[in-house]
Structure 1
Amino acid sequence: MNQISFAGDWYGTLKAGEAELRLVFHLKQKPDGSYEGTTDSPDQGVMGIPITEVVVQERQITLRVASVQGEFIGTLAKDGKTLKGEWKQSGMRFPLELKKDTPPPAPKRPQEPRPPFPYRTEEVVIVNPKAKVRLAGTLTLPRGTPPFPAVVFLTGSGAQNRNEELFGHKPFLVLADYLTRRGFATLRMDDRGIGGSTGDMSQATTLDWVEDALAAVVYLKTRREIDPRRIGLLGHSEGALVAAIAAAQSREVAFIVMLAGTGVPGDQILFRQAELIARKSGVSDNAIERNRLLQMRVFEILRREPDNEKATKQIAEALVTNLARGTLPEAQRQALEAQARNYTRPWFRTFIELNPAEYLRRVKCPVLALWGANDLQVDPDQNMPAVEKALKAGGNKQITLRKLPGLNHLFQKSETGLPTEYAKIEETFNPDALKIIGDWLQSVTKPATPSRPPSRPPKKRGR
C-alpha cells in the first residue's frame, strides 16, 4: 500500500458569488512526518501567507490560515492528485477543489507589458529613517537625455505590492510602462511588510504612508537622472489622499494625480460605498438601512472607546446581534470577533476621521483628479465636488477634474461597476484614461522655455 502524501503545490479557483479567486497551497513534509507550508492568492497579489496549522487524518487534510481567518478542509481522491473540500472564511463556506501541480489557466491580461522594454528598469530601496522601514521598489528610466520628470506611484487601501496587483491585474505596471515610454521616470514600491519591504502594515495609518511617499521624493532627488524640480505623485483611491496630504506638507511635490480620490471623511466614503454596492447587487432597502445602522454603531463605539480591547468586544457584540436571531456557531462567532478586531486597527480609526478637505485646501501644485462614472467604491458624485471645492478654497487655479464615462474604480470599461466584475474584465486600465494622464503630465512638466535676449533695434546704416 502506497503511503499517502500531501506534499506539493495545490491549485484551485475559489468561486464566491460572481467573483473568482485563484488559490495556491504549497505544502512540504518535515522529517517528523508533519507538514508546513504557505498559501498564495495571485489575483490579490498576495504571496507566501503562512499556513499556521496542518492537520492530517488519513485521507483528510485541514489547512488553517490564521491571518485571514480562513480554513480549508479537503479529502484526497483516489488519484492522489485531487483534494475535494471547502474553504471557510468569516463564517461563510465555499466549495473548493485543488489539483496537485496543475495550475489553472491565468486570466487574459492583454495590456500587461512584456520584456524586452525600450527603457531601463532598476530595483531600488527607499529608506524612511523616521519609521525605520525599507521600501523595495522598481525605478524605470526612459531613453533620452536626462534629467527626466518623475512620478511616484501610491497604492490604495490594504496590503498592495508595487504593481497594485489584484484579480490578476497589475494597473501600476501598465501605468509605469505607458508613462516611461512617454518620457517619464517612474517609481513604484511595495507597501510596508509586503514583497521586499520591511515594516508592519497592521500598525500603519494613512499618515505613515505619507511619510513613505515623501521618503520616495527625497530618494529621487538624489538621482542624477531625475529633475528634482519635476517630481510628482500619482495615487489611486486612498493613495490619492496620500498624494494630497504629501503635497500639502511639502513644496518638493511638483504635481499630483488623484485617481478615484476622496474628498470627504472616511466614514462618509464607507456609508456611500456600502449603499451603492448593495443597491447595484439588488439588496433590499430594509437590509441597506440595517447595515447603515450597524456602521453607525461601529463608528460610534470607535469614537467613544479608545481602549482597543473594550472596543473590539463591543463591536463584536454589535456584529453578532445584527447577524443572529439565535445562537451562532462558535466558528462564526470567532470570525466576527476577528472582523471586530480589524475595525480597531490604527488605520481604520484614522481613516474614518481623516477629512481630505483640510489638506486639499493647502495643495498649491498642479492637480489632475479623475474618477470613473461607474465607481461604486469612491462615488464621483460625492467626491468630485468636494475635491474641487476644497482646492478652489485654497486658491489653487491649476486644477483639472474629469469624470470618465463607463469606467469603474479600477478605471476599466465596465457594465455595472461592481467589484465582482474586476477579475472578469480583460482590460487593466482604460487606454483613454492613460492618454489623459500622459497628456496632462507632459503639459505640466515641460521644461521652462529659455528666455530670449531682448531684441536689439536694427543698426542704422550710414549714409
Structure 2
Amino acid sequence: MKTTLVTVLLLSIQLLFAQEITGSWQGELDVPGMKLPLIFHIKKEGEKLISTLDSPKQGATNIPVSTTSYTADQLALELPALGIYYSGKVTNESINGTFKQGGMELPLILSKIKGDGLAPKLYRPQTPKAPFTYKTEEVTFINSTDKNTLAGTLSEPNNFNKKQPILIMITGSGKQNRDSALFGHKPFAVIADDFAKKGIATLRLDDRGIGGSSKGSNDETSFNYATDINAAVLFLKAIGFENIGLIGHSEGGMIAPIVASTNKDVKFLVLMAGPGQPINELLVQQNYLAGKLAGMSEEALQKSSQINRMIYDFIKNYKGSTFDSDFEKFINSSSEKLPDDVKKQVSNAWFRYFIAFNPDEYVSKLKIPVLAINGSLDFQVPAKENLEAIKKSLTKAKNKNFETYEFQGMNHLFQECTTGAMSEYVEIEQTISPKVLDKMSSWISARK
C-alpha cells in the first residue's frame, strides 16, 4: 500500500509540473548584429510533452522540437536537425537557461506569454494575393540525372506566346521553397507576379526535400542542384517554350552559369547578387563585413579572417581521400580549436564544393546575354568586387551583350535599406525594390 501511495504521489507531482510548463514562452537572443525573438509552444498529449518553436523575425513558425523533457524544475528542448539545444531552470513564470547552436552558447530567459501566444504577423505589402490576372499551374517533373522529383509553379501571362521570355528561378543557399521565403518575405512570388503582369512567364521550384520536391542525397552539392535546373530547362523545352532564361539569386547566381555553359537552350541570364569572386575569398570578406556590422573589434575581425582563410585554403587545396581525419590532424596541428558542429559543417560535401568553387570557370564561357545586378550595401556578396569579377569573366568570354548594375542603398535581398545588416531584412516591410523589378523586366523584355 505504501508503494502504491508513493507511485501515485510521484505521478501527481509530474502531472503538476507538466501542467505548469505548458503554454507559450518567449525570450530574446542577443546575437551579433540583431535581437532575435524566439517563442516555444509547449503542450501535453497524453503523458507526453511536445513543443514547437517560432522565430518571428525569420518568418519561421511551428518548427517541431524533437525532444521536450521536464524533470523537477529543469526544462530541456532539443532540435538536433538545426543543432539547437536549450536547457533552463523554471522559476514561477520564467525560465533561466542557455541556448546552444553552431558552437555558440547564449543566455536565454523565457517568460510565459499570456493569451494565445501566437507570433505577431509580419506586414509584407508586396506579397501577391489571389485571384491573379494571369495563369498559374502546379507542375512536377523528374531530374533524370539524379532521379529526384521537382515541383513548382508555372506563372504565365494570358495569351502568352511561347516565343516570349520565360525564366526559371533559382534560389540561394539553404533549403528554400519556390517563393524563396525568408523573414516573412516571398521574393520569388513577388518577382513572378510582377513579371507575369508585364508579359514575362516564370517557373519557380521547391528545393530538394522542400514542399512538393523529393529529397536528394546526403552528399549533394551545388553541381547537383544545377542538374535540377537543367532538368527544368528540358521540361520547359518539351512543352513548347523556346525563349528560356535563368534568374538566380546568390548561390542561384552561381548555379545559373553552370547550366548555361553547357545547355544551349538557355538563351539569357539574370544574376541577382551572384558571386564573381572565388568563393573562398568571398566568404572571408563576407564574414569580415558581417562581424564589422555586428560591432566586432578590428583585432577580432582580423583574427577571425586569419582562421577562416586558413580553413578555406585547406579545403580548396585538399587532394586526398580521407578528408575528415586529415582535417582533424590539420586543426590539431594548429593552435585553433573548432566546435564539433563546425567541424561537421566543414566536412559536408556541399560546403567543400562551395569553398573550392570559382565562378570564372563557367562565367568566362558565356556568350549569351547576361544582366548582373547587386546592391551597394550587400555584405554577403559585396557589389564592387563581384560585379567587377563578373565583368572581367564575361570580357574574357568575348561576350558582347552583358550589363552589370549596382543599385545604390540596397542590401543582399535588394531592399532599400540603411546599413545592409541582416537585422534589417526582417524589419523592412519592402520585399524587393520596384526599381529592381523594373530594371530586370525591361531588360528581359528586350530579349524577344
TM-score normalised by the chain length of structure 1:
0.84
* Deviation of 1:201 (Å): 6.7
Q: How does 1:240-319 map to 2 (within 5 A)?
A: 240-302=253-315, 303-304=317-318, 306-311=321-326, 313-314=328-329, 317=332
Q: d(CA) in 1 for partners of 2:347 and 2:405?
A: 35
Among candidates 66, 69, 85, match of residue 55 of structure 1: 69
Q: d(CA) in 1 for partners of 2:346 and 2:42?
A: 32
Among candidates 177, 184, 197, match of residue 213 of structure 2: 197
Q: Which moved more, 1:421-430 or 1:45-54?
A: 45-54
Q: How does 1:378-397 map to 2 (within 5 A)?
A: 378-397=381-400
1:213-254 C-alpha deviation (Å, 9 max, x unpaired): 111111122335xxx221111000110111111111111111
Counterpart position of 1:451: none
Q: How does 1:39-78 map to 2 (within 5 A)?
A: 39=53, 41=55, 43-44=57-58, 49-58=63-72, 60-74=74-88
Q: d(CA) in 2 for partners of 1:188 and 1:420?
A: 27
Specify the code of the residue in structure 2 equivalent to 1:160.
Answer: Q
CA contact (8 A) 2:373 2:407 kept: yes
Q: How does 1:125-204 map to 2 (within 5 A)?
A: 125-147=140-162, 148-200=164-216, 202-204=218-220
SS at match of 1:352: helix
SS at match of 2:140: strand
Counterpart position of 1:330: none
CA contact (8 A) 1:11 1:101 kept: no
Among candidates 401, 405, 421, match of residue 402 of structure 1: 405
Q: d(CA) in 2 for partners of 1:9 and 1:191?
A: 34
Counterpart position of 1:433: 436
CA contact (8 A) 1:245 1:359 kept: yes
1:84-108 C-alpha deviation (Å, 9 max, x unpaired): 7553323321424464742121222
- Cα 1:42–1:154 shift into 2, 3 Å: farther
Q: d(CA) in 2 for partners of 1:389 and 1:266?
A: 16
Q: Which moved more, 1:96-105 or 1:115-124?
A: 96-105
* Deviation of 1:322 (Å): 4.0
Listed as ranges, the gaps of 5+ residues in structure 2 are 1-11
CA contact (8 A) 1:273 1:379 kept: yes
- Cα 1:28–1:440 shift into 2, 3 Å: same
- Cα 1:127–1:54 shift into 2, 3 Å: same
TM-score normalised by the chain length of structure 2:
0.86
* Deviation of 1:152 (Å): 0.8
CA contact (8 A) 2:23 2:112 kept: no
Q: d(CA) in 2 for partners of 1:190 and 1:422?
A: 22
Q: d(CA) in 1 for partners of 2:330 and 2:154?
A: 43
- Cα 1:163–1:317 shift into 2, 3 Å: farther
Does 2:35 match 1:15? no
Counterpart position of 1:371: 374
Q: Which moved more, 1:309-318 or 1:127-136?
A: 309-318
Counterpart position of 2:3: none
CA RMSD of aligned residues (A): 2.8
CA contact (8 A) 2:54 2:119 kept: no
Does 2:103 match 1:88? no
SS at match of 1:422: helix
SS at match of 2:446: helix
SS at match of 1:395: coil
CA contact (8 A) 1:298 1:315 kept: no
Counterpart position of 2:4: none
CA contact (8 A) 2:29 2:106 kept: no
Q: Which moved more, 1:180-189 or 1:310-319?
A: 310-319
- Cα 1:250–1:145 shift into 2, 3 Å: closer
CA contact (8 A) 1:11 1:103 kept: no
- Cα 1:62–1:281 shift into 2, 3 Å: closer
